Amino acid sequence: MFDSVKKLLIGKALKTEQLKSEKFNVFWGLPVLSSDAISSVAYAGQEILWVLIPAVGFMAFTDMIHAVLMIIFLLFVLVFSYRQVIDCYPNGGGAYIVAQDNLGVTPSLIAAAALCIDYILTVAVSISAGAAAITSAFPSLLPYTVIICIVLIIIMTIGNLRGISESAKAFAIPPYLFICVMVIMIVCGFVKYNILGIHPKPLYAIPNFTNTLSLLVFLRAFAAGCTALTGVEAVSNGIPSFKEPSQKNAKIVLLLLGIVAFVLFGGMSYLSAIYKAIFRPDITVIAQLAIQIFGQGSIMFYIVQATTALILIMAANTSYNGLPLLLSIIAKDGYVPRQFTKRGSRLGYSNGIMFLSLAAIILLVYFNGDTHDLLPLYAVGVFVSFTLAQTGMVLRWFRTKKGSWRHKALINGIGALLSFVATMVLAITKFWEGAWIVCILIPLLVFLMVRVKIHYNIVADELKLDITEKPKAINYEKQKNYMIIPIDSLNKTFLKSYNYAKSLTEDIIIFHVSVDDEATEKLLERWEEYGIDIPIVVKKSPYRNLIGPLVKFIESEEFVVMPGDTITVVMPQFVVKKWWQNILHNQTSLFIKSNLLKRRNIALTTLPYIINE
């Protein structure tokens, strides 16, 4: 039944050789990998105004253009830097791989931890913003915000478990819609103001003072707008998700992403400046612009709002393509559990997908689905990884000194410097609002990853078999195999165990734990009557513990075992036809198992006894 529900939800299993067809070309890759970056247009601009307007008043609009130009400059530095990364690292991995290759293990783990945190936050922030858009439209749904978030994540999870290509197609339409709607708005806004010469009155009062811009305020504004850049890493992480030629396709997508972000972010900032939109908690800048350009209550106003809501939800999907892949790469290196390398029945990294959903749900429940509480945690991680990746690239150019390396190193160097400044500004200005959580989490995750790696190394060392040494000649005839059969009452399950043991060895011990004198006496009587010629070892258990006496007996001096000998404990297990029947049987054997397996010379044999009902 579980299997058929699974099949219904995520589709029929796919063969490993079908893997190639599950990748995307430029047309589908652009929306899937860039929706995070594009969707930040919906909040990055107003974040800048939120910093600037109280500080510099009317001058904010001019200064905003400067900040945005700076961010767009940084964007293109990042785009070109990451295009260089794609050239050098065709198998993907982004900041993690670059840092590992050029800076060493610890920086690569810092990058990995930072990226993981940011991917999870992308889901949480985008989903909560999307849910907020829905609840703003239907205020009666407000008490169910968290539930809406969870439902959205579950839908997204199922879509991604079904497979990359299918979900890509479903998730590609909203970004394209959003891009079209935004471009239409920018064009109409420009034409209305500059060509038709219609200058509508500002919707809200603008502070009637001007102030000189301090460097600190400008940096804060710059950092606030940097949330627009969080999605860039996804493309270079996602190279293996592209159809061949995957490097070329990824580079095209990255450049297109830069251009789209430039047009939308730049265009929206220009519109904000000419139409004098301001930051307000109750109405977004985009909504203000839509009112100024198309009029309150017009059909275009609602289209703008709806596509904005949709792209925010879909932005979460970028993480679903990024994080599972990243985790699989880190898992291959042994820093996170190996299970993340396994492909599910539809060839997606199901464990990574489910881990991402679970982590995002926990965040959303903890923060009650509130975007504003989540935002201070956001973006720090991704700028840490930018800084590390680009520092790594600089070192790489200095090391390889190939081609026009000075020019390339300069691009990466500027990127590294700007990213580092942005990281510092983000971490410091948002520290007490929540960035401290990230500052604690990153080193903690690095520590855990190192612990995991150490464990895997130790296991690998312990298991390693030197095949050049020929196997020792063991005299198998001389090894003794004791078989212990616990008996509770003399019945057919016992007989099955006895026959099994008897066919393998002569050294059989029948063991009974007595918790009830009467029952034990009855058993011994029946035993004698039945006439198997082995005495039963009886141990009393005053505390009604069934496992302790067996463990004690095996460890006692009463039971002498030579090195090389093995003790096999033979246990029957009821196998029932219906799940609920399991509740009716004691699962003592499970407890016996976990207690006995701590000894080296033990083996546990389970014999199924099938109940026909």
Residues of span 585-604 touching its own copies by CB under 8 A: 585-586, 593, 597-600, 602-604
Question: What gap in Å lies between CA 376 and CA 235, rounded to an integer?
Answer: 24
Q: Which of 3, 518, 557, 613 binds its own copies (CB under 8 A)?
A: 613
Q: One symbol per residue from 435 to 454: x for binding its own copies (CB under 8 A), - otherwise; what is it?
A: -----------------x-x
User: In whole angstroms, how close is the CB of 258 to its own copies at the nearest point?
Assistant: 37
Q: In terms of CB distance, is 201 or 600 closer to its own copies?
A: 600
Nearer to its own copies, 215 or 583 (CB): 583
Binding test (CB under 8 A) with its own copies, winner from 243, 280, 343, 552: 343
Applying CB under 8 A, among 474, 557, 562, 563 the residue interacting with its own copies is: 474
Using CB under 8 A, which of 202, 581, 591, 595 touches its own copies?
Answer: 581
In the block, which residue shows the tokens 């063969």?
15
Least distance in angstroms from the C-beta of 335 to its own copies:
11
Binding to its own copies by residue 611, rule CB under 8 A? yes
| 90/98 Cα distance (integer angstroms) | 11
Which residue stretch of 157-165, 222-230, 251-259, 577-585 sits at the interface with its own copies (rule: CB under 8 A)? 577-585
Asked if 163 contacts 11 with a C-beta cutoff of 8 angstroms, the reply is yes
Count CA atoms within 13 Å of residue 102 on its CB side.
Answer: 24
Contact segment (CB under 8 A) with its own copies among 14-22, 191-199, 259-267, 317-325 equals: 14-22
Cβ distance to its own copies smaller for residue 382 or 570? 570
DSSP 241: G
- In DSSP notation, 79-97 reads HHHHHHHHHH-TT--HHHH
- Which stretch in 89-97, 165-173, 338-346, 549-557 sits in contact with its own copies by CB under 8 A? 338-346
Give 561's DSSP letter: -
Given 431, 456, 553, 559, the residue binding its own copies (CB under 8 A): 456
Among 470, 473, 518, 579, binds its own copies (CB under 8 A): 470
Shortest CB 245 distance to its own copies, Å: 23
Measuring CA to CA, how many Å separate 431 from each of 229, 427, 437, 586?
Answer: 20, 5, 8, 53
Contact partners, residue 411, CB within 8 Å, separation at least 6? 77, 80, 81, 84
Nearer to its own copies, 405 or 456 (CB): 456
Task: Rule CB under 8 A: say whether 405 interacts with its own copies.
Answer: no
Q: Which of 13, 173, 180, 365 binds its own copies (CB under 8 A)?
A: 13
User: 46: exposed, middle or buried (C-beta count within 10 Å: 0-12, 13-18, 19+)?
Assistant: buried
* Residue 387 Cβ vs its own copies, minimum distance, rounded to whole Å: 30
Minimum distance from residue 120 beta carbon to its own copies (Å) = 18
Q: For 451-491, give the DSSP string.
A: HHHHHHHHHHHHH---TTSPPP---TTT--EEEEEE-SSSS
Token digits of residue 524: 């011994």
Q: Which CB atom, from 354 or from 504, has the smaller least distance to its own copies?
A: 504
Least gap, CB of 606 to its own copies (angstroms)? 5
Q: Given candidates 17, 282, 518, 557, which one binds its own copies under the rule CB under 8 A?
A: 17
Contacts of residue 267, defined as CB under 8 A and 6 or more positions apart, other chains included, come to: 182, 183, 186, 189
In the chain, the amino acid numbered 196 is L
Residues ≥6 apart with Cβ < 8 Å to 339: 331, 351
* Cα within 13 Å of Cα(201), Cβ side: 3
Percent composition of the chain: helix, strand, coil (DSSP 3-state, to 5): 70, 5, 25
Q: Which residues neighbour 198 within 8 Å (Cβ) at sequence distance 6 or greater?
A: 192
Closer Cβ to its own copies, 208 or 612, answer by number: 612
What number of chain residues touch its own copies (CB under 8 A)? Answer: 77
Of residues 282, 462, 518, 557, which one binds its own copies by CB under 8 A? 462
Question: Is the CB of 337 or the CB of 434 nearer to its own copies?
Answer: 337
Phi-psi region of 495 (alpha: psi -120 to 50; beta: other; left: phi over 0): alpha
Q: Which of 76, 511, 553, 574 binds its own copies (CB under 8 A)?
A: 574
Residue type, 494: F
Please identify, using beta-carbon distances, which residue of 461 and 557 lies nearer to its own copies. Answer: 461
Nearest C-alpha neighbor of 426 from the set 436, 441, 412: 436
CA–CA separation, 329 and 310 (whole Å): 30
Phi, psi of 83 (to 5 degrees): -65, -35
> Which of these, 433, 172, 427, 521, lies nearest to 318 by C-alpha position?
172
Of 4, 140, 208, 503, the one binding its own copies (CB under 8 A) is: 503
Q: Using CB under 8 A, which of the segments 11-19, 96-104, 282-290, 411-419 binds its own copies?
A: 11-19
| 140 touches its own copies by CB under 8 A | no
- Please select the residue that binds its own copies; options are 210, 491, 556, 595, rule is CB under 8 A: 491
Q: How far is the CB of 485 from its own copies (least distance, A)?
A: 13
Under rule CB under 8 A, which residues in 510-569 are in contact with its own copies?
Answer: 515, 526, 529-532, 542-545, 566, 568
Angle at 331 between CA 23 and CA 253, to 5 degrees: 30
